[in-house]
Structure 1
Amino acid sequence: MSVIPHIADFAHDLTEIRQDLHRHPEIGFEEVRTSAIVAEKLTSYGIEVHRGIGKTGVIGVLKGSLGPGRTIGLRADMDALPMEERTNLSYSSQNPGRFHGCGHDGHTTILLGAARYLAETRQFAGTVIFIFQPGEEGCGGARAMLADGLFERFPCDEIYALHNSPQDDPYRIGIKPGPAMAGADFFDLRIKGRGSHGAHPETSRDPIIVATALVQALQTVISRNISPLKQAVLSVTQIHSGTAYNIVPEEAVVSGTVRFMDRDVNELVRARMRSIAAGIAASFEVEIEVDIRNVFDVLINTEELVEGYLAAARDVVGEENVYVKGNPVMGSEDFADMLHACPGVYCTVGHAGNVPVHNPGFVLDDGILPVGASLFARIVERRGAIT
């Protein structure tokens, strides 16, 4: 492995930054402290800073010393998850109900590491745009930055991002060309029934009974309406209803997510969900309000740029630790929306540990920090001079 020596020299500083961010996690569009630290660090590196893009987003702009060239965007997400931490780390979250359980503290630190190195060396052509994005965890942070004119104000020829992966061997880098991650909808199905005393359910229109029927019926959409050769997931993840032991409630809400790799499949799933809801509502003489909203697009890596990112990865971790993924994953990532506006590539970087992300016991391996920073730096040095 060939982590850039200059980055290796300040790896300890990166660990301190990452653990401080971990100790003070902030969820989507609340990244006030985090964005202030990012802005302060970039300014101290001599990088031009712009704040407030997409609410709490931060942009850094840096020109190289090797003349004109391409403008390369590097993006990291900053937000934590609304969950409790159960790691017992010495630097565990001090904010109740907030936890960097997906590694975004690491992503932010990695980009800061690349920014410091590139600012101190400037041995690249063209310009680099450092994009620190808020609200990736289903909050629409990428779309908020795009709506604020991200690429109109800071045009990029190419953009790159990464994500830590405890599922992969340490520091192994993988890329799936083309469609790589699923698009996603979130849904809320609100059942409006009629409440009653728990001892007299015959006078009710019990929304809990309706909810159980609805959940069962929704599970037939993928298994009986979608070709087994297509990829789609429908998961009910929340059911909310009731306030007391002896009250049949008025309402129940069934919520969850749909994942898809194909827009036509997505439209079919949406249509079937609405049809099932209407049929069950008629059967039980209740009302069901259907709210299905898109939160992530399908992430599509620009195939002609994949080899350049793989070459940068080989510089850092060696040929044996770089691979092309054969299959997409059904997880989602809102960097997809940026890739629909600008060509680019998203990769995963493995690290030590076997607890998955979004688990209360997830621990990020700080060894990934100089690896990721070196990868970002190398893609700028490699691609900036290409015209």
Structure 2
Amino acid sequence: MTLGKDLIEEATAWRQQFHRHPELLFDVVHTAARVTDLLRSFGCDEVITGIGKTGVVAVVRGGNAPASRTIGIRADMDALPILEATGLPYASSVAGKMHACGHDGHMAILLGAVKHLAESRAFSGTLVAIFQPAEEGGAGAKIMSDDGLFDRFGIEEVYALHNMPGMEVGTFALSDGVLLAASDRFDLKIAGCGGHAARPHEAIDPIPVANHIVSALQTIVSRNVNPLDPAVLSVTSIHAGDAYNVIPSEVTLRGSVRTLSDVNRDNVEARVGALVTSIAEAFGASAELDYRRGYPPTINHATQARTLGDAATRVVGIPGVQRDAPPIMAAEDFSYMLQARPGAFIFMGNGMTAPLHHPMYDFNDDALPYGIALWISLMTENKIAPHPNSNLLPSREAAASPGS
């Protein structure tokens, strides 16, 4: 089975239209409306809006017996608050917002697969296509789950993909365990006693307290964490004072913590709390810590990872699928869906483009056919050629060169 050139050209046009009109978090009203219109035009059995605030869900029932499974596939819809610098003809028309993570491509891929499957119905079971808002910090996956997504539509397994710059177009990577980290953050206020810079002995200077705390926090990963179970702790912001001759009364810090295991997550949080409190007290200052847990780690289920890896192999062959990909310390709210149902998450090559969350990033349209073919392969269990002729896409060698 091969994908038609017309479908790929349509998907490319959808992707570039989404790119031109980015929206943030749950405020994806126009994006969701466009997705809804397209899904209805495809003849889906059901198209439901307003799941998880602004999420959209489409149901397509296969025409082959037996109808034995209900599979959910997620695409994220939101953009990022970044000023685009690509200068592309379809660059963002909204200053300070851009699709810098490729969610425009993820939507176009799932839409392409839904259109193909709604037309052919050449699969058994039911596809539930999930278009999710607020992946970028809003936990939209959790909000949709809490809104009854899985029970309402009878979803038994759930899958998602994410493009990956630096991976060759036409390749995939996944693992049968943890693939992405938990992401937590903290705000810290150190309160001392301000004074004149010429009379420091009359003050409690919070700045050296902050210096000691920052240094001590770096020892958590190097001395309190098993080196075979990675963690990252970064202090990313420090603010204090606004004059040359005044010792400030407080310092504020903020930072990020990434862990792959619950053991490390608990350990790091406890150590941060213990260190900031004891160090501040040793200097006669006080510390107020606000430590907030974010997305949990993204952990693939073994059976579903094998199923998704097999689907990718039917598209690009055995050499194109890495099944033992090492985890990375980024985070994904698809983790909440994997807590609700068994499933798997896979990386898809985007070529040697700018990195994610970068002003020069752009989703590589050459990757669209591979993503569309992946979801069709997952639903049909058929071998799918991602393009009908060798002229439609560049060779893998060409696709690996720097792209747009």
* Structure 1 equivalent of residue 60 of structure 2: 62
Contact persistence 1:158–1:344 (CA under 8 A): yes
Q: Does 1:372 align with 2:379?
A: no
Any unmatched runs of 5+ in structure 2? 383-404
2:115 is aligned with what amino acid?
R
Q: Does 1:5 align with 2:11?
A: no
Summarize the Cα distance change of 1:203–1:159 in structure 2 as closer, same or farther, 3 Å threshold. same
Counterpart secondary structure, 1:185? strand
Contact persistence 2:110–2:372 (CA under 8 A): yes
Between the aligned partners of 1:89 and 1:210, the Cα distance in structure 2 is 48
Contact persistence 2:167–2:352 (CA under 8 A): no
- Deviations 1:322-381 (Å, cap 9, x if unpaired)? 221242222211111111110111111102224211222212211111210111111011
Between the aligned partners of 2:8 and 2:201, the Cα distance in structure 1 is 67
**Higher deviation after alignment, 277-286 or 156-165:** 277-286
Counterpart secondary structure, 2:185? strand
Between the aligned partners of 1:163 and 1:312, the Cα distance in structure 2 is 15
**Higher deviation after alignment, 247-256 or 212-221:** 247-256
**TM-score with structure 1 setting the length:** 0.92
Any unmatched runs of 5+ in structure 1? none
2:210 is aligned with what amino acid?
A
**TM-score with structure 2 setting the length:** 0.88
- Deviations 1:138-166 (Å, cap 9, x if unpaired)? 22111111111111212211111000011
Runs ≥4 residues deviating over 6 A: none
Aligned with 1:51 (options 42, 49, 52): 49
Question: Shift of residue 195 of structure 1?
Answer: 4.1
1:30 is aligned with what amino acid?
D
* Structure 2 equivalent of residue 39 of structure 1: 36
Question: Shift of residue 245 of structure 1?
Answer: 5.8
Q: Indicate the RMSD between aligned Cα atoms, in angstroms.
A: 2.0
Pairing of 1:115-264 with structure 2 (within 5 A): 115-196=114-195, 204-243=203-242, 248-264=247-263
Contact persistence 1:353–1:364 (CA under 8 A): no
Summarize the Cα distance change of 1:191–1:98 in structure 2 as closer, same or farther, 3 Å threshold. farther
Question: Shift of residue 69 of structure 1?
Answer: 2.0
Counterpart secondary structure, 2:56? strand
- Deviations 1:101-155 (Å, cap 9, x if unpaired)? 1111111111111111111111111111111111112221111111111112122
Summarize the Cα distance change of 1:245–1:373 in structure 2 as closer, same or farther, 3 Å threshold. farther
1:24 is aligned with what amino acid?
H
Contact persistence 2:179–2:325 (CA under 8 A): no
1:60 is aligned with what amino acid?
A
Question: Shift of residue 219 of structure 1?
Answer: 0.6
Contact persistence 2:168–2:352 (CA under 8 A): no
Between the aligned partners of 1:222 and 1:171, the Cα distance in structure 2 is 36
Q: Does 1:16 align with 2:13?
A: yes
- Deviations 1:219-269 (Å, cap 9, x if unpaired)? 111001112222111112222344566654444322221111211111111
1:314 is aligned with what amino acid?
T
Summarize the Cα distance change of 1:253–1:141 in structure 2 as closer, same or farther, 3 Å threshold. farther
Pairing of 1:338-377 with structure 2 (within 5 A): 338-377=337-376
Counterpart secondary structure, 1:315? helix
Contact persistence 1:195–1:206 (CA under 8 A): yes
Contact persistence 2:73–2:159 (CA under 8 A): yes
Q: How many residues align?
A: 380
* Structure 2 equivalent of residue 320 of structure 1: 319
Summarize the Cα distance change of 1:99–1:284 in structure 2 as closer, same or farther, 3 Å threshold. farther
Between the aligned partners of 2:205 and 2:81, the Cα distance in structure 1 is 31
1:146 is aligned with what amino acid?
S
2:64 is aligned with what amino acid?
L
**Higher deviation after alignment, 273-282 or 349-358:** 349-358
* Structure 2 equivalent of residue 25 of structure 1: 22
- Deviations 1:40-81 (Å, cap 9, x if unpaired)? 111111222112222221111111111422001000111112
1:308 is aligned with what amino acid?
T
Between the aligned partners of 1:218 and 1:336, the Cα distance in structure 2 is 27
Question: Shift of residue 97 of structure 1?
Answer: 2.2
Identity %: 44
Counterpart secondary structure, 1:359? coil
Summarize the Cα distance change of 1:268–1:95 in structure 2 as closer, same or farther, 3 Å threshold. same
Question: Shift of residue 198 of structure 1?
Answer: 5.9
